[in-house]
C-alpha cells in the first residue's frame, strides 16, 4: 500500500481518491475550501440552495464505469432520472421543447423543420463517431506517437481538422433554428460553435440519444456522495486546507506543504486548475513543459456571469432547463470568439431544478441559476461597477422572453458571481470556467497530460487536463490517472 495526496476535492479529485482508495492505497484529499465540490459545489443563501455551476447531467454511463470500479451502487443510492422534455429552447423565431425520447424527437424535427430524414441519418453517424471518440478519450495521450494506432485512425474517420460544429451542421441541415438547436451545446465547452472542432457534435448526440438526467440535489449531490463514501471507507478529507506547494525531490513528487505543515506521500494527484499548478504549486526550478510565461500563449475559454435567484413562487411554465437565445445568435456567438466585449444581447441559460426537486427551496418557492457566457478576465471588464446593471438586464430579458411580467416582484434572494469571483474564490485561471479551449492545438497530447511530464509520481486530473471539461470527461481523467498509477504499482 502506498500513500497518495490529492490536491482539491472537485469531481476530478474525489473520483481519483475513490479509485486509488479502491486500489488499496492510503489517500488524503486536501481542499482549500470549507466544502467539497469546487465549481460543482452547493451554495446556500438563506432558505435557498443553489448549484454553483454544473447542471446538465449527461453520459452517465461514465459514472457507471467509475462507480462500478469502486463497487458503489450509485444508481440505487441517488436514483438518476431522465428528463423529458430535455429543455425548452426560446429561439429568435419560435420556441420548442425537444423530447427526451429519441423517436419522438426525430418526429418533432420532421414536423417542425421537415428535416427528419437528414436528422436520423446524422444521428446514426454520430453514434459511430461517438464510439470512435470514446476509444480515444479513455486513454492517456503522453505523446504524438500515440496517434499511430487503429483507435486513433478510426477516430480520424469522423473528424475534420478544419471544420467547426457550425460548418458541419450547415452542410447537413437547412433550417437556421434547427441548426441553432443543435449547435448551442458548444456552450458546454465555453466556446462558440464557429470555433469548436466538428466532432463535438457528439455532445448533441449524447443529449438527444442518450438523454439528460437529474439526481435529487443535482450534480453537487453526486460529488458529496463521492466524498461521503470516501470518508466512510477510511479516506482522509482535509477541508480548509490549501496546499501551498508540492514537494519535489530528484524530479519526484514526495508530498505537499499545506498551511498546517508538511505531508509526505508516494505520489500527488492535482485536481486544482492546471494553471494553479504552474503559477503556485510547482517549484519553478522543475518547470519545463509549461512555465508561467508559456501559460500566456494558451487559449482559455470564456467565463460565466451567474445570477442565483430565489423567487418566492414556482412558475409552472418554466422548464428544468431553458435556453433563451440571442436575437442575433450568429453575431453573438462570433463575439464569444473575440472574448472582449460584454455581450449586449446574450444567450441566457436558466436552470430551474425546483421543477423536479424540492430540496432546493422552501415549499412553493424556486431556486434559479442564470448563466450568461461572458469574456474571461483578460477583457478587464470592471465587474464591480457593471454587475448589478448586467444582472438586472438579464432578469428583465428573461421575464420578457418567458412572459413573466411580475418576476422581479417575486425575487427574494439574488446573488451574483462574476468572472472575478471564479478567478479568486475558485482559483480558476482567468475565470475561464471551462478551462483550456477544446481546440486541436490543446487536445490529446497537446493538453496537460494525466501523468505530468516533468515530475515523476505527479498526476493531473480535472477539466483542464486530458481529455477535457464536463463531469463525465473529468471522471475519465481520474480513471486514466488511476490506471497509470495501478500500472506503475504493478511493476
Ligand X SMILES: Cc1cc2nc3c(=O)[nH]c(=O)nc-3n(C[C@H](O)[C@H](O)[C@H](O)COP(=O)(O)OP(=O)(O)OC[C@H]3O[C@@H](n4cnc5c(N)ncnc54)[C@H](O)[C@@H]3O)c2cc1C
Task: Name the minimum Å distance from CB 349 to ligand X.
Answer: 9
For the chain, the maximum distance between any two Cα atoms, rounded to a whole number of angstroms, is 66
- Taking the complex as a whole, how short is the minimal distance between the CB of residue 162 and ligand X, in angstroms? 27
Residue whose CB is less far from ligand X, 153 or 259: 259
Q: Which is nearer to ligand X, 80 or 242 (CB)?
A: 242
Q: Are strands 3-7 and 267-270 parallel, antiparallel or unpaired?
A: parallel
- Closest distance between ligand X and the C-beta of residue 347, in Å? 14
Q: How far is the CB of 11 from ligand X (least distance, A)?
A: 4
Dihedrals φ, ψ of 338, to 5°?
-70, -30
The cell numbers describing 111, all together, are: 414536423
Give me the residue whose beta carbon is nearest to ligand X.
Answer: 10
The residues facing 237 across adjacent strands are 29
Q: Is 6 helix (H, G, I), strand (E, B) or coil?
A: strand
Q: Closest distance between ligand X and the C-beta of residue 478, in Å?
A: 8
| Residue nearer to ligand X on the CB measure, 30 or 205 | 30
Query: In the complex with ligand X, which residue's Cβ is closer, 310 or 419?
Result: 419
For residue 236, what are the β-bridge partners? 28
Q: How far is the CB of 32 from ligand X (least distance, A)?
A: 4
Q: Which residues of 263-287 are buried (b: 16+ CB within 10 A; e: fewer)?
A: bebbbbbbbbbbbbbbeebbeeebb
Residue in 354, 349, 350, 348 with CA at minimum distance from that of residue 313: 354
CB 88 within 8 A of CB 323: yes
Edge-to-edge strand ranges of the sheet holding 81-82? 57-58, 212-214, 81-82
Nearest to 318 by CA among 410, 209, 217: 410
Cβ proximity to ligand X: between 49 and 119 the closer is: 49
Sites of contact with ligand X (CB under 6 A)? 7-13, 30-33, 38-40, 53-56, 242-243, 271-272, 276, 304, 371, 426-427, 433, 462-463, 469-471, 474
Output 108 or 469, the one with its CB closest to ligand X. 469
Q: How far is the CB of 8 from ligand X (least distance, A)?
A: 2
CA distance 63 to 478: 11
Q: In terms of CB distance, is 109 or 391 closer to ligand X? A: 391
Amino acid at each position: 500500500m502506498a500513500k497518495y495526496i490529492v490536491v482539491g476535492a472537485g469531481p476530478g479529485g474525489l473520483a481519483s481518491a475513490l479509485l486509488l482508495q479502491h486500489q488499496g492505497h492510503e489517500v488524503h484529499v486536501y481542499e482549500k475550501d470549507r466544502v467539497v465540490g469546487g465549481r460543482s459545489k452547493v451554495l446556500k443563501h438563506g432558505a435557498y440552495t443553489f448549484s454553483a455551476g454544473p447542471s446538465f447531467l449527461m453520459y452517465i454511463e461514465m459514472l457507471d464505469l467509475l462507480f462500478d470500479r469502486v463497487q458503489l451502487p450509485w444508481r440505487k443510492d441517488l436514483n438518476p432520472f431522465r428528463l423529458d422534455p430535455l429543455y425548452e429552447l426560446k429561439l429568435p423565431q419560435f420556441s420548442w421543447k425537444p423530447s427526451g425520447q429519441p423517436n419522438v424527437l426525430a418526429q418533432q424535427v420532421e414536423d417542425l423543420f421537415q428535416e427528419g430524414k437528414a436528422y436520423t441519418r446524422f444521428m446514426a453517424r454520430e453514434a459511430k463517431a461517438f464510439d470512435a471518440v470514446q476509444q480515444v478519450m479513455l486513454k492517456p495521450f503522453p505523446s504524438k506517437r500515440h496517434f499511430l494506432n487503429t483507435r486513433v485512425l478510426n477516430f480520424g474517420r469522423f473528424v475534420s481538422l478544419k471544420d467547426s460544429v457550425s460548418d458541419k451542421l450547415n452542410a447537413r441541415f437547412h433550417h437556421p433554428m434547427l441548426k441553432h438547436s443543435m449547435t448551442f451545446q458548444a456552450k458546454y465547452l465555453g466556446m462558440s460553435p464557429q470555433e469548436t472542432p466538428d466532432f463535438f457534435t457528439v455532445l448533441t448526440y449524447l443529449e438527444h440519444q442518450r438523454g439528460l438526467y437529474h439526481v435529487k440535489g443535482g450534480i453537487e449531490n453526486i460529488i458529496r456522495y463521492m466524498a461521503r463514501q470516501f470518508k466512510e471507507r477510511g479516506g482522509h478529507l482535509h477541508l480548509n486546507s490549501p496546499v501551498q506547494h508540492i514537494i519535489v525531490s530528484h524530479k519526484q513528487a514526495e508530498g505537499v506543504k499545506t498551511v498546517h505543515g508538511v505531508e509526505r506521500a508516494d505520489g500527488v494527484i492535482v485536481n486544482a486548475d492546471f494553471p494553479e499548478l504552474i503559477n503556485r504549486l510547482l517549484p519553478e526550478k522543475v518547470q519545463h513543459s509549461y512555465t508561467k510565461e508559456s501559460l500566456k500563449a494558451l487559449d482559455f475559454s470564456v467565463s460565466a456571469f451567474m445570477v442565483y435567484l430565489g423567487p418566492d413562487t414556482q412558475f409552472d411554465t418554466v422548464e428544468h432547463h431553458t435556453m433563451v437565445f440571442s436575437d442575433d445568435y450568429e453575431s453573438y456567438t462570433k463575439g464569444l470568439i473575440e472574448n472582449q466585449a460584454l455581450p449586449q444581447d446574450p444567450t441566457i441559460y436558466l436552470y430551474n431544478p425546483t421543477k423536479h426537486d424540492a430540496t432546493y427551496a422552501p415549499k412553493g418557492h424556486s431556486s434559479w441559476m442564470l448563466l450568461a457566457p461572458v469574456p474571461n478576465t483578460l477583457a478587464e471588464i470592471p465587474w464591480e461597477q457593471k454587475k448589478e446593471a448586467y444582472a438586472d438586464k438579464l432578469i428583465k430579458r428573461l421575464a420578457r422572453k418567458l412572459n413573466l411580467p411580475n418576476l422581479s416582484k417575486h425575487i427574494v434572494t439574488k446573488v451574483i458571481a462574476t468572472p472575478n469571483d471564479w478567478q479568486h474564490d475558485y482559483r480558476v485561471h482567468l475565470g475561464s470556467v471551462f478551462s483550456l479551449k477544446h481546440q486541436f492545438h490543446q487536445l490529446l497530447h497537446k493538453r496537460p497530460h494525466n501523468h505530468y511530464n516533468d515530475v515523476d509520481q505527479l498526476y493531473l486530473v480535472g477539466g483542464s487536463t486530458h481529455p477535457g471539461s464536463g463531469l463525465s470527461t473529468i471522471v475519465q481523467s481520474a480513471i486514466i490517472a488511476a490506471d497509470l498509477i495501478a500500472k506503475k504499482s504493478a511493476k
